[in-house]
């Protein structure tokens, strides 16, 4: 029996089923639309708490001077900027993103802050990272994994480019673990976020997709198992803000 044409396979785009071959372009349209207001919206949507989540991820990373760090789906450079300070002049940070609009925002922001000598910018698909095997000491992806078409392929790609002994950090929206929080979170996500998107960016649909994409993302335990299947070991999970966000950290040995 002939395998089905991959172009006819479907996946989720928020709550919609779309062709796998179309999803990358649809996600790209979302981030092209919101790139210039992305940081402002993050502050408004999370009341600034996203900065604490990212700081926790960086502090948990164990990054130190001389390390090579890859920040996948690095967007406007929040993590890359912090990593650049930690790796110092002897180290290297690569900010990779599939979306050129987000990449340009990141480049401009870091340049404005004088962070230029140890950061490189690469347009790349998380599922097919264009770097050598066993190259990076740390790989991070913050709020980007849920947007890739094949999470398993992205995890395998990140595993490949990590050095033995290196660690992956996945910071992502997850499933609330505090009783009663789900209902409040749903009400906020499906009412306030689209309204904010319309009011600030003129784009309600993109923020409705972002809320839906969170609900389609694997929960904490499922993502842990996916990371183990990709070859990672010693996977730990830290719930933040009652599980609204989770940090998964894992090692390659």
Q: In the chain, where are the structural domains located?
A: 32-177+209-251
Q: Cβ(213)–Cβ(220) under 8 Å? A: no
Residue 224: which H helix or E strand, with range?
helix 220-229
Q: Cβ(67)–Cβ(93) under 8 Å? A: no
CATH assignment of 32-177+209-251, given 3.50.50.60, 3.40.50.150, 2.40.40.20, 3.60.15.10?
3.40.50.150
Q: Is the pTM of this model over 0.95?
A: no
Per-residue pLDDT of the chain (253 residues; tens, 9 = 90+): 444 555 579 888 788 888 888 888 878 777 777 777 777 888 888 889 999 999 999 999 999 999 999 999 998 999 999 999 999 999 999 999 999 999 999 999 999 999 999 999 999 999 999 999 999 999 999 999 999 999 999 999 999 999 999 999 999 999 999 999 999 999 999 999 889 888 888 888 888 888 899 999 999 999 999 999 999 999 999 999 999 999 999 999 9
Which residue reads 């340049």 in tokens? 111
Q: Cβ(252)–Cβ(232) under 8 Å? A: yes
């Amino acid at each position: 029996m002939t395998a089905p044409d991959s172009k006819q396979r479907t996946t989720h785009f928020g709550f919609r089923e779309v062709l796998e071959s179309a999803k990358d372009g649809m996600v790209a349209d979302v981030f092209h639309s919101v790139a210039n207001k992305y940081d402002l919206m993050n502050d408004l949507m999370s009341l600034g708490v996203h900065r604490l989540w990212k700081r926790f991820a960086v502090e948990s990373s164990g990054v130190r001077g001389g390390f090579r760090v890859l920040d996948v789906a690095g967007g406007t450079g929040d993590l890359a900027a912090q990593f650049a300070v930690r790796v110092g002049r002897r180290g290297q940070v690569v900010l990779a993103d599939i979306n050129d609009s987000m990449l340009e925002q990141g480049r401009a922001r870091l340049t404005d802050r004088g962070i230029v000598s140890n950061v490189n910018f690469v347009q790349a698909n998380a599922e097919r990272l264009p770097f050598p095997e066993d190259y990076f000491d740390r790989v991070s992806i913050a709020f980007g994994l849920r947007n890739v078409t094949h999470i398993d392929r992205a995890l395998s790609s990140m595993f490949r480019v990590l050095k033995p002994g290196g660690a992956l950090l996945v910071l992502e929206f997850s499933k609330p673990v505090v009783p009663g929080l789900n209902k409040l979170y749903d009400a906020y996500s499906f009412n306030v976020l689209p309204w904010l998107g319309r009011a600030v960016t003129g784009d309600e649909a993109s923020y409705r997709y972002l809320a839906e994409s969170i609900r389609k993302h694997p929960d904490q335990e499922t993502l842990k198992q996916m990371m183990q299947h990709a070859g990672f070991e010693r996977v730990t999970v830290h719930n933040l803000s009652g599980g609204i966000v989770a940090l998964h950290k894992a090692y390659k040995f």
